[in-house]
Amino acid sequence: TVQQKQQAPAEPPKAQAPEKTSLEKLQAELKDKYKKLTDDQVKAKYQEAFDPAKKMDIEEYKILKKEMARRFEIDAPNFKGSAVEMHHEIHGANCHIRSDIAENGKPVVMKKIVDKMDADFSNLTPTNEAFTVYRGRSKHPVANSLNTDFNIIENAKIGDIITPDTGYPYAAFHRKLAECWGGTGANCGKGTMMMEIRVPKGAKLSCNLEHGGEAIFPRSSQFKLISKGKDPEGIMNVVLEYILPQAK
């Protein structure tokens, strides 16, 4: 009997990768384009996004934002021991503090808590480097009393020293996290604002490494308005410079 050799089963044809869509091709081209630019060239291109005459495409702007984040955003430095005791309670207390000050001109109902937190902030270790944080905001469609910071910034002139918040403002070391608080512009309708806050060396902020790093500013912090303008997504982008209390 002749033994028939068993033939190995034929390998199934390899699945071909689906062809990229025109949008995916554009995104790949833009990513490659921006990776080849110098830091200064990327920054200059980012500034062009706020020039209405340039009319930058939204998809290109999204890629540009990611490249800016990849190059220039940092995780929170190791601010060991620089978070106030009530760091996680400040968010819940802020609305009561703002209402208290609006009604009485100063903390009255919340005085004990405010005095404690103000003292804790003053005892924080000063930061040993300059850095940038981001704060996102969405305008409340009904309660205008919750939009005080919007009104102040909209009416301020470049170079003005402003106090947008009588509470303790939160910020993030990554713009992407700040967008969770302030929406993403076109998806959020009118009234979305992103603040880029430049913090000088020697600031006393309550910082931790959660979510890639978050920071809380002292109560009623002052800032210098550097610039403001809408980006291609419809977000009002504001650049502020934190004023150290001793420099007031």
What pLDDT sits at residue 87? 87
Q: Evaluate whether residue 215 is within a structural domain.
A: yes
Q: Evaluate whether residue 59 is within a structural domain.
A: yes
Do 66 and 116 fall within a single domain?
no
Angle of helix 111-122 versus helix 90-104 axis, rounded to 10: 120
CATH number at residue 153: 3.90.176.10
Cα–Cα distance for residue pair 97/106, rounded to 1 Å? 9
Do 171 and 238 fall within a single domain?
yes
Q: Name the stretches of the chain with pLDDT < 50.
A: 1-2, 80-81, 185-187, 247-248
Cα–Cα distance for residue pair 148/69, rounded to 1 Å? 29
Instruction: Report the number of distinct structural domains present in the chain.
Output: 2
Do 156 and 39 fall within a single domain?
no
Residue 12 is which amino acid? Answer: P
Angle of helix 175-182 versus helix 58-72 axis, rounded to 10: 130
What pLDDT sits at residue 15? 63
What pLDDT sits at residue 81? 46
Q: Per this entry, what is the length of the chain?
A: 248
Do 96 and 64 fall within a single domain?
no
Residue 238 dihedral angles phi and psi, to the nearest 5°: -125, 130
Q: In this structure, are residues 51 and 237 in contact, taking their beta carbons and an 8 Å threshold?
A: no
Alpha carbon separation from 50 to 85, 198, 228 (Å, rounded): 40, 19, 9
What pLDDT sits at residue 51? 82
What pLDDT sits at residue 74? 67
Other Cβ atoms closer than 10 A to 101: 19
What pLDDT sits at residue 56? 86
Cα–Cα distance for residue pair 51/232, rounded to 1 Å? 9
What pLDDT sits at residue 211? 65
What pLDDT sits at residue 7? 59
Range of the domain at 53: 22-72
Residue whose C-alpha is closest to residue 173's, from 72, 65, 74 = 74
Do 151 and 112 fall within a single domain?
yes
